[in-house]
Structure formats: structure tokens, C-alpha cells
Amino acid sequence: MATPASFFHHPDSSRPALPGAAAVAACAAMAVSYVAVLYAPTVLLRLPPPTSLRAFLHRRFVCAAFSSAASVLATASLLRVWSIGDLSDALAVFGIRSDHLLQAVAIPLLLTSLVYAGSFVARLWLLATSCGRDDGELEIGFAQRLAHWICAAVGDVMVWRNCVVAPITEELVFRACMVPLLLCGGFKIYSIIFLSPIFFSLAHLNHLFELHQQGRNFMRSLLIVGVQLGYTVIFGWYAVFLFIRTGFTLSFFGVCSWKLNIVHLLFPTRLLLLQE
């Protein structure tokens, strides 16, 4: 199975296709722009503040999509993807492929599921046994409650954020764009695995400012953001490894979506403090 490393590392290559400093600078610029563009509507465009959570997230969805598209175009220009004659090879640079799709998606997803398997099963068991236990309520079957939950989730803007927008935009920018740049910059694979997630982690520093604006204690805010930074680095190691090993964007997109939603399902009250 071809991987991103196989596209950019060849035995006969004497020097990297992109200067290492340029690759790092491009990654840093993408990380900064991904966060900065979220504040563009109010700071640059002088739009009025959103009046609801739905309007706030819809605005951020547009900003994240714009930043992701700009990062893809910048990466394609720096790596001269346009010069690749075959469209499938050009898309493979970003991990968009069709070969071995089932293996690349199913195996990482199953592997990630093992981390939360015990808590997830316990949570589902609690949900199943609690059906119809409330006083004065008719007994509701587990399947009916699950169907009701799915219908409610489809219309929930937070579900769209956690299941679709965040996994697609974050993994596209911080994995599918940055990893090829660093590979072309001549960095070793293990260096990319352990160092590239730092860009993703530092992109969450804006939460410290937002929590402070909400009136939270500075030390408490620092603790919350510190835990989040550490967790994103650890998860980033795993996500970058998956991308380099499989060469598929969908492999870590599914893992990221699973991680976000299972953590919110298992620890809903704790995650209120870590909401982006």
C-alpha cells in the first residue's frame, strides 16, 4: 500500500524538494490562519456578534471551510501538485484515494474503539437499562430511544460540529496538508510524528483567551487549556502515524470523529469545560 512517505521519499533523492524552514513556516502559517480566520467576521468584517449558538457555529463553519481550502491551495502550490499528470496521484498527496479503502478505514477505527470499549459498553448498558425507568413514563424500547436520539442529533448543530466540520477541517489542515509539507522538507518520519502535532496543539491556545473573556479564573483556565493541549498532542501522534502508515485521509477522519463523539458521550459534563 502506497503511503505519503512513498510519494515524497525516494532512495535516489539527494536533497528535499522543499526547504525545511519553508515547510515549518508554512505549517505555522496554516495553524495561525486556521485560528485567526475564526475571528475575522467580527474583527475584520465588523459583523455584529451572533445572537445564538447556531448562528455562532454556522459562522465558524464558513470560516473553517475557507481556511481549509486556502491551506489545500497553498500546499498544492508549494508542492507543485499541479505538475503531477495523473489526477489520482495528485489527490493521493492529500490522502484522497480509493485503493484499500476498507482496510485503511476499518482497522484504525477498530483499533481506536478498543481505547474506549469498556466505558462505551458500560454507557450503552446504562442507557439500555434506564429505558422506561422514570416514574410516570411509559416504557420506551432501546431501539425507539436510539432512533429518537439519532433524529435529534441530525438537527443538532453541535453534532455537525463534532462529527463533520471539526474532523474534516482540522484533519485536512493539520494532517493532510502539513505532513506532506514536512515530508518534502526532508524531515524524518518519526520527527514528523512527534513534532507536527505541536502545531495542532498550539492552535488551541485561543481557548485561554476565550475562557478569560468568559470571566473564568486564570489559573483554572490555564489548567483546562493545558490538559487540552496535552491531549491534542498525544492524539496527534496517533493521527499522524495513521496518516503516514495508511496514506488515507479517511482513516484519521473517522478516528477523529469517533474520538470527539465518544468522549462527549462518556464525559459530557467534563467536556463542557473544554468546549471549543
Distance CA 218, CA 208 (A): 8
Contact 70, 40 (CB under 8 A): no
* Residue whose grid cell is 514536512: 182
Mind telling me the catalytic residues? 170, 204
Largest CA distance in the chain: 75
- Cell numbers at 218, concatenated: 486564570
DSSP letters of the chain?
---HHHHH--TT--S-SS-HHHHHHHHHHHHHHHHHGGGHHHHTS-PPPPSSHHHHHHHHHHHHHHHHHHHHHHHHHHTTGGG-S-HHHHHHTTT---TTHHHHHHHHHHHHHHHHHHHHHHHHHHHHHTTT-STT-----HHHHHHHHHHHHHT-HHHHIIIIIHHHHHHIIIIIIHHHHHHHTT--HHHHHHHTHHHHHHTTTHHHHHHHHTT--HHHHHHHHHHHHHHHHHHHHHHHHHHHHH--HHHHHHHHHHHHHHHHHH-HHHHTTT--
* Sequence letter at residue 107: I
Q: Quick one: how far is CA 203 from the chain centroid?
A: 12
